[in-house]
Amino acid sequence: MSFLDDRKALTREKRLSALSHFHGTLEGLIDETSGTEIKQRIRTFSQIHVDETIYAFDVLSKIEDSVIIVNGSIGCSALGIAQDEEEAFTWFSTNLVERDTILGGDDKLREAILRANEEKHPKAIFILGTPVVAINNDDINSVILELEDEIGIPIISIYTDGFKSKTPVTGYDIVTHSLLKYLVDKNVDLKEDFINVISFSENIEDVASIAGILHELNIKFQVLPRFSSIEEIRKASKARATVVLNPEEGDYLAKELEEVFGVPYIESEAPIGFRGTKNFLLKLGSFLNIEEQVVAYIDEAEAKISEQFVSNILEDKRVFVDASLSKVYGYGRLLTNLGGQMVGFSSPFVDLDNKKQLKRFDFLQKNAIAIIGNGQQFEKANELEKNHIDIFFSENVGNSYVTDEGAVVVSTKNRVTYGFEGVDVIIASIRRALRLQGKNGNVSSYKDSFKRRSGNWYVKQEVS
């Protein structure tokens, strides 16, 4: 049975037994996730984390021709301020106050919808849920039914509560569920000559890198839902096939498109490094019956990369990777090929789907550091200091604590990491970072008393 039969998406914890609290070794993590259900853990102290509302807002803000209404207190609308570098999207707040949480905020929501439509003339309006509305249980659907016919565009509720999931990627699932249920065209007789490229968290540089390859191979495509229009989302069901840039984020959308709308899902790994990009393109080429063209393109790209590739650039360097679990394999393989010794990794979550990645980590010893956590910089700092890490390779922001512990950061923020171009960019980024090694004189952000504790001091087995 399709998940679309449900009113809203299940949390990753309920759907895939997602775990977002673990601190130990790779061997311990593999053992912990080996069953049909993953045992949950808790943190007795949590430093910082993001939630599914933030993730949902981020991807919705990249959809063209739409408006976001943050249905909650004005503080929740700080999400919009955090995205102020984006000029192409508009958001409104219902600005619910204490009185509204008691008597209901329907009138404010109605006013916000009408104002958004009158001022911006969008092709769709997304109503983003917040903890205030989740607790108050306002009847959002009655407002939607009342106004949708009047203004003549889809008004779509995004059921983000902000506290029911510890796995923020649930926000992508919630957005996916609503887009498929209320926007994607269900009356499709014929497929068209293009593919869907699923992207949720990728920056524009990574999407452009893959887009450039597809253009050179004369493959028609559209990117969903990030950087897409409402019309492109509608016709997702008309595609010949779907590929996903980050499987742990886009699998839900791709699988539902296949099950409900008959759009084949071409499963592959993230296109990171030479081998990852090669595997991604070969699977796509095989499906589209253009293998010879793809192989010729790969051979040409390999020749160009070989001229720049220096296998020992990370010789004698201890490396730690901080990235999505589905990307750790690609990054780790590349960094190891560059001569680095990868001693550990951290990822936001592990679940019944992406846990299969763990057994591919042949570049790691069984006792390598494994941290599963949403945020939690203090746990990473603990391991950085104890294990004398040289290079901290991270796709996340807020890494100032890393340099305080004597390591240098190689950040992928706003840099290309996908495709063959990504190999060159990563190598260049490592070269720049190595020039900074040993020049840091900062004092640690954490007291010695904390760092003397074991890394899993605050991570406990959950008692049912």
Spatial contact of 35 and 202, defined as CB atoms under 8 Å apart: no
Question: Confidence band (pLDDT; 50, 70, 90) for 88?
Answer: low
pLDDT of residue 401 exceeding 90, the answer is: no
Q: Is pLDDT above 90 for 189? A: no
In the prediction, which pLDDT does 203 show? 92
pLDDT classification of 238: cutoffs 50, 70, 90:
very high
Residue 375 burial (CB count, 10 A): 17
Q: Which residue has the tokens 């993953």?
A: 38
For the stretch 251-278, pLDDT in tens is 999 999 999 999 999 999 999 999 999 9
- Indicate if the pLDDT at residue 342 is higher than 80: yes
Q: Is the dihedral of CA 234, 240, 245, 246 positive or negative?
A: positive
Contacts of 159 (CB under 8 A, 6+ apart): 7, 8, 9, 129, 174, 178
Task: Name which of 36-50, 173-187, 226-240, 287-301 the model is least confident about.
Answer: 36-50
Q: Given pLDDT bands bounded at 50, 70 and 90, which one contains residue 343?
A: very high
Q: Does the pLDDT value for residue 82 go beyond 70? A: no
Specify the pLDDT at position 426: 94
pLDDT at 461 over 90: no
Q: Is the pLDDT of residue 99 over 90?
A: no
Q: Please state the length of the chain.
A: 464
pLDDT at 440: 58
Q: For 403, phi and psi rounded to 5 degrees?
A: -65, -30
What integer pLDDT is reported at residue 86 of this predicted model?
Answer: 55
**Pick from 228, 176, 142: which is nearest to 52 by CA?**
176
Residue owning tokens 């605050």: 458
- The rounded distance, in Å, linking the Cα atoms of 373 and 396 is 13
What is the average per-residue pLDDT within 170-175?
97
**Cα dihedral 375→381→386→387 (10° resolution):** 70
Instruction: pLDDT band for 83, please (50, 70, 90 cuts).
Output: low
Q: Please give the Cα distance from 443 to 403 (Å, whole number).
A: 9
**Overall pTM surpassing 0.85 (yes/no):** yes
The reported pLDDT for the residue numbered 4 is 83
Predicted local distance difference test score (pLDDT) of residue 381: 86
- The predicted pLDDT at position 463 comes to 56
Check residue 190 and give its pLDDT: 86
Structure confidence at residue 458 (pLDDT): 80
pLDDT in tens, 11-65: 999 999 999 999 999 999 999 999 899 988 888 877 777 889 999 999 999 999 9
Mean pLDDT for all residues in the chain: 90
Predicted confidence (pLDDT) at residue 222 exceeds the cutoff of 90: yes
Long-range contacts of 70-74 (CB under 8 A, 24+ apart): 70/94, 70/128, 70/130, 71/96, 71/105, 71/109, 71/112, 71/127, 71/128, 71/129, 71/130, 71/132, 71/133, 71/138, 71/140, 72/96, 72/129, 72/130, 72/131, 72/132, 72/133, 73/97, 73/130, 73/132
Q: Tokens standing for 440?
A: 């840091």
Q: Cβ(95)–Cβ(74) under 8 Å?
A: yes
Comparison of pLDDT for 141 and 368, the residue scoring more: 368
- pLDDT, one tens digit per residue, over 427-455 is 999 998 888 776 555 677 777 777 778 77
Percent of the chain with pLDDT over 70: 96
Report d(CA 63, CA 229) in Å as an integer.
6
Q: Where do the domains of the chain lie, and which CATH numbers do they carry? A: 52-164 (3.40.50.1980), 310-460 (3.40.50.1980)
Question: Ramachandran region of residue 128, left (φ > 0), alpha (ψ -120 to 50) or beta?
Answer: beta
